[in-house]
Amino acid sequence: MHEGHEQLFRRRFFVSTLLSIPVLLYSETLQEWLGFSVPAFPGSEWINPVFAVVVFAYGGVPFLRMAAPELKDRSPGMMTLISMAVSVAFVYSLASVFFPTESAFFWELVTLIDIMLLGHWIEMRSVRRASSAVDELAKLMPDTAERVTDDGETEEVSVSELSEGDLVLVRPGASVPADGVVEEGDSDVNESMITGESKPVSKEPDDEVIGGTINGDGSLRVRVGATGEETALAGIMRLVEDAQQSKSQTQVLADRAAGWLFYVAVAAAGLTAIAWTIAVSFNATVVERVVTVLVIACPHALGLAIPLVVAINTSLAARNGMLVRDRIAMEESRNLDAIIFDKTGTLTEGEHGVVDMATVDGVDEDDALALAAAVEGDSEHMIAQAVREAAEERDLTTPDATDFEAIKGRGVRANVDVSGFAGGSSDESDGGDEVYVGGPNLLAQLDSDVPGHLQRFADEAGQNAQTVVYLVREGELVAAFAMADVVREESYRVVDALHDLGVEVAMLTGDSRDVADAVADELGIDTVFAEVLPGDKDETVQELQDQGKLVGMVGDGVNDAPALTRADVGIAIGSGTDVAVQSADVILVQNNPMDVVRLVKLSKASYRKMQENIVWAAGYNVFALPLAAGVLAPIGILLSPAVGALLMSLSTVIVAINAQLLRRVDLSIPDLPEVSPPAGARSAN
């Protein structure tokens, strides 16, 4: 739609401007002002009226047509004002042909239409460019795909022919044709067009890939999981399109202002006509004053002030991994008094990790960790996964384990070949040593004594809200591991950055008060809600709202749905492949809490641009309308309709340029020394 309007106004502007040249050349007023003359010939006196009528019919009538729906709906706005001004100018011009006037008005008429066309062309061009985010997203999806047949060969098919379950080959440098799971191959995939993150993401078997992303140097075979409207990219496109079509509170206010301006313009024109008629009697000067008032009142700049900023804001957010479902929520983000973060998976990694360990004399830490990883080899518990990952990070070789057994509520046991373990002497023939891994309940069951230095290690870990698990070999306690949910490095910067923006930071978690307080103290969080059940999370939001605060809630968009809905601004984080999160107002594609800060900064910057544009547009009318009415006529200052149109269009251009400057907003978060994580402070349970 915008592209069609852009071409219409562009074409009509150039044709009308070309047809206006003879009118300007044969205008006696301009000849007198600029000191030039053109040769006259029989019939040259008709150049001005004939060409002016053609310009009105070609360039002015479209405004009249667009005003018809406004009048039909009894909601006058910008098109109504423009049509009224152009119509009055046209009638005045024709009247000057048959009735004596002080000056001809044709050149004012054509320049008025030309400038209006130029302003609308610029507006449509700017809005079309700002609204191109959806088109850009659509271009990401390839037209064809290489489907793997049953005999292992490949065939080129249209992407629309793919079905769930198909196996496709994604060659190096090609776009992934649909959402799916990697079955074979390793490669780095560029997901920046979806997540905003420029660093390629490593993909291997069982990893998910998103349609429209670009494969790197490796070759992938992907099992299709979603196609067409079900893909993540299609969902993102719907969200971007809906957000661009929605109206913010400021935009609604600007639309209302444009409607009221119609009545103000009519009233001002009426008062101008009465005042000038009383002063000089009714003549062409009175009509000229009335026309000038109507020209000045045209709300080009006001009508452009908000929609253009909104469009640019939405496309900027999308390119930075922020999908806006509710324009009002995006605008309200700048006013947030407090933001509540769900701890696990948001401020922390959501995965337990080994953050420290201690062993008895004569036992090497690597040996102890390898032995524990061997025992935990068959366990799916998150602590077992953390132990195995810690061993993998150290490139440790784990010994063989047999007879695995999970001891409910206490830990796990297995027989492990410890022949290569420090102090070990068993071999495969005797089945290995009996090794246990578990918490304090396991020690109570085994009646194991805790050496003094391991007890001190456990006490210190408890003070830091860390969980301690023990390694017991043949009834002897040989090592202790401190486990914790690792705090994201960026969480330190996020809390400090939000404080710098004047936003209170709160955290809610189902963990114990000691654990929650330890994390809060480490990050500098203001308010802590601990031991909160999933069903009670929305009550914590209500608690802050009852204090008169505007509250934002950051969660995963699924478990935190009630709280996200209750919050003034619900922010779902880490939902890049599930864009249909109905409970959130804003969806952050990347699982990165720093995007919350970017959201607030973008909201503040966008609103600032809206304010600047409204002040310029409305301020222009406030000062220009009295001048157009002739309040300074006694001292010789009068605005002609053409000058009024020129100033009005200049205001429109300035508003458009100012909105485009929003693209330069800096959404980066500086690496300040005071927000770096303290040495050794990396964990939280």
Query: For the purposes of burial, counting CB atoms within 10 Å of the CB of 219, is it exposed (0-12), middle (13-18) or buried (19 or more)?
Result: middle
CB atoms within 10 A of CB 349: 20
Q: Which residues are catalytic?
A: 342
pLDDT of residue 576: 38
Question: Where are the alpha helices (H) located in 281-398, listed in sequence order?
Answer: 284-297, 300-319, 327-332, 365-375, 382-393
Nearest 5°: phi and psi at 166?
A: -65, 150
Residue 202's Cα: distance from chain center in Å? 25
DSSP, collapsed to helix, strand or coil, labels residue 111 as: helix
On the CB side of 257, CA atoms within 13 Å amount to 23
Tokens 């404080």, located at residue? 499
- Per DSSP, the residues of 230-253 read GSHHHHHHHHHHHHHHS--HHHHH
Angle ∠(100,104,108) on CA atoms, nearest 5: 145
Q: Which of 144, 148, 166 is nearest to 157 (CA)?
A: 144
Mean pLDDT in order along the chain per 10 residues (685 residues):
71 94 87 86 90 94 88 79 78 76 70 78 61 58 88 89 92 90 91 60 88 88 87 67 52 61 82 88 78 70 69 78 78 92 78 84 89 84 82 88 81 82 50 84 84 87 77 90 81 91 89 75 90 77 92 75 82 56 72 87 90 79 79 78 65 82 79 40 40
pLDDT of residue 481: 92
Q: Which of 271, 319, 403 is nearest to 136 (CA)?
A: 319
- Residues 265/299, Cβ–Cβ less than 8 Å: no
Contacts 24+ apart (CB under 8 A), 363-367: 363/422, 363/423, 363/478, 363/479, 364/422, 365/479, 366/394, 366/396, 367/421, 367/422
pLDDT of residue 253: 56
pLDDT of residue 525: 94
The alpha carbon dihedral of 332, 334, 336, 342 has a sign of: positive
Q: How far are the Cα atoms of 221, 227, 228, 669 from residue 161, in angstroms, in the given order?
A: 17, 9, 10, 44
CA 139 to CA 469: how far, in whole Å?
A: 52
CA 681 to CA 685: how far, in whole Å?
A: 12
- Residues 383/467, Cβ–Cβ less than 8 Å: yes
